[in-house]
């Protein structure tokens, strides 16, 4: 005779780490189905920047030199940077503020760990959900870019996978950083990091305008690598440097996953 308790445990036991992560994503989907406007609202910020800076100031600036030195419209130069920034912002918002609430106040993960779920599954599931939020922002922005004629190359379709990669890097590191935060005041540090990245990662002007020392510092910015990756794809400038940008983001994401998983295990399993 089959033990009903054993059957129930078998149903809720994740068959693998990915299976547990999938269950975390399913939970988030069920929660957000009644709060979809929270996610949708984040789509408008880069659109406002595009119209105010890319188009408004672009009328005054005129054409600028693209990555290969060719003249392009200023809006076509700025739009890929805003696309990368939207992926970063979506992933960071989800992996910091929301994770902190679940961890410190909602005690969601304490309840989750009463099942056979492991901290590693929680980390991967939440990071994946964070990068998906960034991908939603990026996909919506890409539609606007295409409609405005700001994606001159067919290689631009690869900008969405590149945006997902950006979301992975920032979502993983955002969650890792959140595990070290003690109070809501600590989130001032999030803005202190993301705002300079947004402004000084060749988002609005070429890196060549910086002094040499600042250029070297900018090349350490993870958003810079995302901006260069997406800008090159949308303009059809394909070379081996794109692989270096992608590897940088992958390594950043993997480090974030490792730190977040270990920190969660230390905090929740103690």
| Percent of residues, the chain, with pLDDT higher than 90 | 31
- pLDDT band at residue 35 under the 50/70/90 scheme: low
Helices 119-147 and 17-32: crossing angle in degrees, nearest 10, is 60
Model confidence pLDDT, tens digit, residues 164-183 = 999 999 999 999 999 999 88
User: Does position 19 have pLDDT exceeding 70, yes or no?
Assistant: no
Sequence-separated (6 or more) residues with CB below 8 Å from residue 121: 14, 17, 19, 20, 21, 23, 24
HSE-up of residue 131 (Cα within 13 Å, Cβ side): 24
* HSE-up (13 A, CA, CB side) for residue 269: 13
39, 76 Cβ separation under 8 angstroms: no
pLDDT digits (tens, 9 = 90+) for 93-116: 888 988 898 888 888 888 887 777
Give the residue-averaged pLDDT of 60-77: 79
CA-CA distance, 202 to 267, in Å (whole number)? Answer: 38
What was the pLDDT predicted at 49?
80
What pLDDT does 15 receive? 43
CA angle at 54 for the pair 93 and 131, rounded to the nearest 5°: 25
| Residue 195 scores a pLDDT above 50 | yes
The domain spans of the chain are: 21-268
Q: Are 19 and 170 in contact (CB under 8 A)?
A: no
Residues written for the chain? 270
The pLDDT score that the predictor gives to residue 125 is: 86
> For position 16, what pLDDT does the model report?
45
Q: Are the C-beta atoms of 89 and 47 separated by less than 8 Å?
A: no
């Amino acid at each position: 005779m089959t033990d009903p308790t054993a059957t129930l445990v078998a149903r809720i036991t994740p068959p693998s780490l990915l299976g547990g992560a999938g269950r975390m994503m399913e939970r988030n989907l069920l929660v957000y189905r009644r709060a979809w406007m929270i996610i949708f609202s984040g789509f408008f910020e880069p659109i406002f920047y595009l119209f105010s800076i890319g188009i408004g100031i672009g009328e005054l600036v005129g054409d600028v030199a693209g990555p290969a030195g060719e003249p392009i419209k200023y809006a076509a130069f700025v739009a890929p940077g805003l696309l990368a920034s939207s992926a970063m912002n979506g992933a960071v918002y989800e992996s910091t503020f929301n994770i902190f609430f679940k961890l410190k106040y909602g005690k969601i993960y304490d309840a989750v760990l009463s099942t056979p779920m492991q901290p590693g599954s929680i980390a991967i599931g939440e990071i994946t959900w964070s990068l998906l939020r960034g991908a939603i922002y990026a996909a919506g922005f890409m539609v606007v870019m295409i409609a405005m004629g700001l994606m001159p190359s067919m290689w631009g379709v690869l900008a969405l996978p590149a945006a997902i990669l950006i979301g992975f890097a920032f979502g993983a590191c955002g969650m890792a950083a959140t595990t070290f935060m003690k109070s809501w005041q600590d989130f001032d540090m999030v803005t202190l990091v993301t705002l300079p990245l947004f402004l000084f990662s060749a988002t609005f002007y070429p890196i060549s305008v910086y002094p040499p020392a600042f250029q070297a510092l900018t090349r350490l910015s993870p958003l810079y690598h995302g901006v260069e990756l997406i800008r090159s794809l949308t303009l059809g400038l394909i070379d081996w440097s794109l692989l270096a940008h992608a590897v940088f983001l992958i390594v950043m994401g993997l480090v974030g996953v490792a730190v977040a998983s270990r920190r969660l295990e230390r905090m929740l399993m103690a």
